[in-house]
Structures are given as structure tokens and as C-alpha cells.
Structure 1
Amino acid sequence: MLSYVFEGIRAGLLLSLIVGPLVVLLIQLSLRRGTLASFAAATGIWTSDLLYVAASHLGLEGLERILDHRHINEIFGTVGAVLLIGVGLAMWYRKPPSLKGKKMMPSRRGLLSAWGQGFLLNMLNPFTAFFWSTFVVTQVHNRELLSAEALAIYGGIVGTIMLVDSAKVLGARKLREFLKPATMLRVQRVGAVALGLFGLGLAVRVWF
């Protein structure tokens, strides 16, 4: 059983170490709105991953019909691209916060907003849907694994993602201690450009 856990850990490391818009989102939220907001976004990411696991494993036939829809990539890709570009534009024009002597305590509404950003960016990412559907078919269903073995793999993947994402959030928290206002503005705008480029790249992949 332990071998299946390690198998999940390897897949989780591959998935969580890929640099993408979710990494930028977690870092930017931690810098701007504090660690709690960034953890809220990470929780949204984990929630969408768990939903994909459940949909892929328990409702594979229905999920395959959805993913086989001729326009599903265009729909997911377009909505995801618009969301990424919109968040990037808002981040570019938003005034950076003053970090000196300020303890950030986001409101419940702010935490819910951060959770929603993480959830939607991951849920509408075609790569996430492709990864989970492909992994479940090839590594679980095709191998006819028992429920306990499948849960061991899923636990290894999701647990690894949670640990790595938490490390990203805490790392960004330490980074805040060394940032000056001018540097904060540059970091924020670099993140804004990165999200915009991810959005444009996503749009190009699904439409061209």
C-alpha cells in the first residue's frame, strides 16, 4: 500500500512544482493581502482538485462525455484566459499596500474572494482537467486498482500538493519582511504581467 502512496507523491510533486498562474496568485495574495488570504486561495485550489478526483473516479463516464465535447477546451480556455487577464489588469493598476508595521487580517468577504480566485483558476484550467482525467484512466481504472489502493494514490497526490502550496505561501510571507515599497510595486507588476501572459498563452493554445 505504501508504494501507491509514494506513487501519488511523485505525481503530486510533478503537478505542484509546475510554475504557472496558481503560483503567481498565491505569492501575490500573500504579499498584498496576507498569509490567511493566500491560504484561502490555496484551499480553493485543493477543493477543485478534490472535485476533479471525485468526478474522475466516481463519475468517469459522465466526465468523459463532458471532456469529449467538441468545444470544451475552447469554453474552459476562454473563461480561464479572461479571468487571468482580468486579475492581471486589476493587479497592475492596484496600488501596492504598505507593508511596514501592518498586520494583515482580511475580512470574511476577502477570504471568500481569495478562495474563489483559487478555485476558479484551477477549475477552469484545461491542464488540471486533462491531468486528473488522464491520470485516473491510465493509473487507476486501467490498472483495476482496489478502492484502498486508489485512495492511497489520491491521498499522496493531494497531500503533496497541500504541503508544497503551503510552503509557497509561507515562503512568500517571509519575503514580505524584506520588501520596500518600490520593490513591492515591481513585484506586483511582474506578477500582473505573468498572469496576463498566462491568460494570453491559454487563449492562443485553445484558439490557434
Structure 2
Amino acid sequence: MSSALIEGISMGLLLSAMVGPVFFTLIQSSLTYGFRYASVLALGILSSDTFYVLITYVGIKFLAEATYFEEVLGYVGGVILIGFGVSSLLSKKVMRPNSGGITVPVGKKRSAFLKGFSINGINPFVLLFWISIASLVQTKEAFTSLDILAYYTGILATVFSIDLIKAFIAKQLAHLVTPKIMAWMNKAVGFLLIGFGIRMLIYTYMG
């Protein structure tokens, strides 16, 4: 069980090293609304990953063969990412970074959770990652049920912990960030999200 947990942690570190739309959204959210908001967003990301773990582990054969599912997710995901990007570009309200002393309203926390869940969930690359992990687990005949649980727990716990660390570090730098810098960052994140969305649409079409 311990070896399965260590292997899961190693895989979690690999996943955390990948830079994508979730990374930029997490950093931007921590700078704008503070660590608590970003933590709820990270919880949404964790829930999305957990959902994918369940559906890929239980239905890996069906999902691997149902290529239309990946295609639909790719197109929908690309459009949603572009939508988030355009929204960030058009947003004229630039907030001063939250130092953490301001309580984030419950409604904002719900929106943070949904944003984290959706941005991570509509990315077909995340689905492909979990499909590959589920396929890998199926090949490990020596894995017991506890080993599988430890393996997945290691991945999810590592990714969530590193997301919190990223958000915390960003929050510590909040006092150095002026509204003007935030405005430029919002635009940068907007362009990046649009870029990721377009790339997702192209890859889905070419695939």
C-alpha cells in the first residue's frame, strides 16, 4: 500500500507541473480575491478530478471506445474556455488584490467552486489523463483494492496540496500587485484562456 501511495504522489507531482488554464486561473483568483477564494476554487478542481476518477475507473472500457464523447467534450470545452477568456478581457472592473482579511461572500465561494470544477472539467486533456491512469491501474495486477485507493488518494491529495501552495504564494505577493498590474494580468489571462480554447478546438477538429 505504501509503494502505491508513493507512486500516486509521484504521478500527482507530474500532473501539478503541467501548466494550463487551471494554473493561470488559480493564480489570478488568489491575487484578486485572496487565498480563501482560491482555496474554494481548488476544491472545485479537486471535485472535478474526483468525478473523472470515478467515471474513468468504473467505465474505462466504455469511455476509451466512445470517441464521440471526447470530441463533444473538446468542442464544448474549447467554447467555454474562449467564453471565460472573452469575459476576462471585457471586464472593466479591476479590483485591488485581496490581502486575505476580507471575507468572501458565500455566493462568491459557490461561483469559485463552480468555476474551478468547470474549467478543469471541460478540458479533454484532463479526461485523457485520467483515462490513461485508469488504464495503467488496470495493468497492475498486484494492486489490491487498498492499493488502488492509496494510488488515487496520493494523486488527488498531491495535486490539491500543490494548488493550495500556488494560491498561498500568489496571495503573499498580493501587496506587490497594483490595480494596473491586475488589469494587465486579467488581459493576459483572458488571451491565454482564449488561446487554450482555440488550441482545444483545433486539436479536437484535427483529431
Same fold by TM (over 0.5)?
A: yes
Structure 2: gaps (5+ residues): none
Q: Give the match for residue 69 of structure 1.
A: 66
Q: What secondary structure is seen at the aligned counterpart in 2 of 1:19?
A: coil
- 1:153 aligns with one of 151, 155, 172: 151
Q: Give the match for residue 15 of structure 1.
A: 15
Aligned mates of 2:160, 2:178 — CA distance in 1 = 30
| AA at the equivalent of 1:109 | G
Q: Give the match for residue 79 of structure 2.
A: 82
TM-score (norm 2): 0.91
Aligned mates of 1:102, 1:160 — CA distance in 2 = 24
Q: CA deviation at 1:65?
A: 1.9
Q: CA deviation at 1:143?
A: 1.4
Report sequence identity in percent: 31
Taking only aligned residues, the RMSD between alpha carbons, in angstroms, comes to 1.7
Within 5 Å, give how 1:169-184 maps onto structure 2.
169-184=167-182
Q: Give the match for residue 127 of structure 1.
A: 125
Q: In 2 relative to 1, CA 102–174 (structure 1 residues): closer, same or farther, beyond 3 Å?
A: closer
CA contact 1:5–1:152 (8 Å) conserved in 2: yes
Count the aligned residue pairs. Answer: 204
CA contact 2:78–2:196 (8 Å) conserved in 1: yes
Aligned mates of 1:132, 1:101 — CA distance in 2 = 35
Q: What secondary structure is seen at the aligned counterpart in 1 of 2:104?
A: coil
CA contact 1:34–1:105 (8 Å) conserved in 2: no
Q: Give the match for residue 35 of structure 1.
A: 35
| Pair 1:206-2:177 in alignment | no
Aligned mates of 2:106, 2:203 — CA distance in 1 = 36
Q: CA deviation at 1:100?
A: 7.9
CA contact 2:52–2:127 (8 Å) conserved in 1: yes
Deviations 1:140-171 (A, max 9, x none): 22212110111111111111101110111101
CA contact 2:36–2:100 (8 Å) conserved in 1: no
Q: Give the match for residue 135 of structure 2.
A: 137
Q: What secondary structure is seen at the aligned counterpart in 1 of 2:95?
A: coil
Q: CA deviation at 1:73?
A: 2.2
Q: CA deviation at 1:135?
A: 1.1
| AA at the equivalent of 2:78 | A
Aligned mates of 1:105, 1:64 — CA distance in 2 = 45
Aligned mates of 2:170, 2:120 — CA distance in 1 = 20
